[in-house]
Amino acid sequence: MTKEELALEVIERLKKEYPLAQCTLDYDQAWKLLVSVRLAAQCTDARVNVVVEDLYAKYPDVAALAEAPVEEIEKIVRPCGLGKSKARDISACMKILRDQYQGKVPDDFNALLKFPGVGRKSANLIMGDVFGKPAIVTDTHCIRLVNRIGLVDGIREPKKVEMALWKIIPLEEGSDFCHRLVYHGRDVCTARTSPFCEKCCLKDICQKNGVESKK
């Protein structure tokens, strides 16, 4: 089975297993996802979803958050870790949105990369989820699982993983595929315990790279 064939089979099986997979960060406006992806660095999505409730209660729109003192933002987002840098980046992002984009998140990948604290992973997430454009989000779940399954060979650097996946994942499938990897990585192909290979929908086609017992 070629990597392209393996990719298509993995995609179809994960679709059946997680038909409603979606972004695990809560948001109802694009600028809120921009905030959440910055807060999610080295923090769980579940905690981010709780913290932003307080942030938006006090600063309900782009203009309000752009005007907020960085110190006040930091007090709220501190539970997400790296409070100073995250607060500084969020403040700067909101000012850019307000001053350059009339409060609207741009639907341009390269423009997103110019926002403080926004890397390829975050830009891809926004492009795929908000704008429905081709996207591959190489978060920790994605990198770990595509190596374990055998879709990439020992590649750990996020951009290199992304480039490798672009060659074998259909453009229209990338965003949802990565969301499904998050679900699968949390529920079955876990990192902190031995993966539950016996109940995995991919058990007969996964290479199980790095798994001690290949059941």
For position 145, what pLDDT does the model report?
98
For position 212, what pLDDT does the model report?
76
The backbone torsions φ and ψ at residue 156, rounded to the nearest 5 degrees and listed phi first, read -115, -20
Q: Which position among 121, 129, 176, 208 bears the catalytic label? A: 121
For position 213, what pLDDT does the model report?
57
Nearest to 68 by CA among 30, 95, 105: 95
Own/partner contacts of 26-29, CB < 8 Å, gap of 24 or more, are 26/52
**Model pTM greater than 0.85?**
yes
121 catalytic? Reply is yes
* Per-residue pLDDT tens listing for the chain (215 residues): 999 999 999 999 999 999 998 999 999 999 999 999 999 999 999 999 999 999 999 999 999 999 999 999 999 999 999 999 999 999 999 999 999 999 999 999 999 999 999 999 999 999 999 999 999 999 999 999 999 999 999 999 999 999 999 999 999 999 999 999 999 999 999 988 899 999 999 999 999 999 975 44
Nearest to 137 by CA among 116, 114, 109: 109
**3-class state of residue 43 by DSSP:** coil
Q: Which position among 89, 129, 139, 176 bears the catalytic label? A: 139
For position 76, what pLDDT does the model report?
98
**Which helix (H) or strand (E) is 92 found in, with range?**
helix 83-100
